[in-house]
Amino acid sequence: MKRSLFFIILFIFSSSFSAFSFQDSLSLEDYFVKNQIQPKKSKDGLYYSVEQEGNGVFPKSGDYVKVHYIGKLLNETEFDRSDPNEPFVFQIGYRQVILGWDKGIPLFRVGSKGKLYIPSHLGYGNAGAGNVIPPHSNLIFEIEILEVMDIDAYDRFMEELEQKERKAFEVHKHQQFIKDKRLINDYAAEHRMKVNRTPSGLSYLIKKKGKGANATPGNTLVVHYEGYLLNNSVFDSTYKKNKPFTFQLGKGKTIDGWEEGLQFFRKGSEGWLLIPSQLAYGPRAIEEEEINIPANSVLIFKIKVVNIIAN
């Protein structure tokens, strides 16, 4: 589910509450005069206008509310909006959103459309929000109240959302897998590699067979390697450190592409592993010390097995 700017660390809300000044209210009033707007004012100091009256209930504290919104600054700069296909859902009164929302959303019936004009002390106060909302900013929200849910309805909604997201993830994963296989095939062809392919999407090439039996889970392997991205840039190398990498195969200490691929190598073997992203780091980008691997990267490894130790 999309997370928005509303999910800000709680201390920002509490520390900004005391930042209210007369200027906060005055600047909103100037905005109203300039734009010939006559909104209502709540007892909490925020302003609102109902442009389309719904016929549902008024949300109350503890309710789960489903909302569409667009957030803007007073200069009409848009800083956030809900996904048209995925409304924003939160629980009123539990500080999951800015205070202006906890106080303002209950002013609108289900089915209503309108605007909330929120002074900065009920928004992000003197802290602002990242590089998007400056400190002391008054905010405008165009809102539509879609539904109020009790805990059972909310649980059903979250279950349906989880299933939808899981399905979308699987579709994306499959599409990425197809793309990775094409990239690996292109790389192998460009570099004239006659690779072997496995059902997992892994491709490998043994240039030097080595001696003895193939590595098996439980063996300790001593390996020299160079890791490349598809643009042939080196992201890691044991040769630079002048020290091979030692690990036990089958213990999940390396990426899946290594766990599978090194079982085709023997002591003294040299060759290549061409690994699709789902057998490497998937959608996770890696930035550690000098290693920089973008998300969804196919990885190419030049491998030399120095030793295989049976445990």
Q: What is the pLDDT of residue 22?
A: 38
Q: For the segment 219-247, what is each residue's pLDDT rounded down to a tens digit?
A: 999 999 999 999 999 999 999 989 999 99
> What is residue 83's DSSP assignment?
B
Of the pLDDT bands very low, low, confident and very high (cuts 50, 70, 90), residue 161 is confident
- Give the pLDDT confidence score for residue 26 in this predicted structure: 52
pLDDT at 288: 83
Question: Is pLDDT of 9 > 50?
Answer: no
pLDDT in tens, 55-90: 999 999 999 999 999 999 999 999 999 998 889 999
Measured CA distances, 66 to 91, 124, 172 (Å):
9, 22, 27
Domains of the chain: 10-149 (3.10.50.40), 176-309 (3.10.50.40)
**Is residue 13 very low, low, confident or very high in pLDDT (cuts 50, 70, 90)?**
very low
Q: How far apart are CA 113 and CA 68, in angstroms?
A: 9
3-state secondary structure of 234: strand
Task: List active site positions.
Answer: 69, 79-80, 98, 124, 141
The structure's pTM equals 0.59
